[in-house]
Amino acid sequence: MNQSSTNHEDINYLPFMFGIEKIDSDHRLLIGIFNRMSEKADQKESNDFMKIIDELEKYSNYHFANEETLMKKANFAEIDEHVIQHQIFRQKIDAFKTSIQFGSSTLQSEIVAFLRKWLLKHIMECDAKYVPSIKKYLNQ
């Protein structure tokens, strides 16, 4: 699975399906928002780009809350480390929004490249860790 080599290619959500319905539908939607964002960056439409960052921020906060609730209910041992990763993401999105508002030269494609790497790595490496605990909890 090598999805990080090109910058403007859509991410395919299928390899990230864990078999946990709620989480999978969140990830599918989140990746869908990212793919639309990646297309906007190609088109250099800055207003639309800002709108879609807002959408990504709102949806990721909603999804992180879902994950954090499930990890807690499932007594997942590495919850603290996971919540820190979500927090770092929130801060990063905040910083991107500020730099766009203040007319920083932060390129849209740099933001897209960061988000692509972060999403792929986070889902594959961090989210994947809670799968056995949450599946066990949901099957109880």
Of residues 108 and 127, the one with the C-beta less far from Fe ion: 127
96 by Cβ neighbours in 10 Å (0-12 / 13-18 / 19+) ranks as: buried
Of residues 20 and 108, the one with the C-beta less far from Fe ion: 20
Of the listed pieces 8-16, 60-68, 94-102, 111-119, which binds Fe ion according to CB under 5 A?
60-68
Q: Say how far apart CA 38 and CA 108 lie, in whole Å.
A: 9
Question: Any idea what the Cα angle at residue 32 is, between residues 28 and 37, rounded to 5°?
Answer: 150
Total number of residues binding Fe ion (CB under 5 A)? 2
Of residues 111 and 127, the one with the C-beta less far from Fe ion: 127
> Is 127 an interacting residue with respect to Fe ion (CB under 5 A)?
yes
Binding site for Fe ion (CB under 5 A): 67, 127
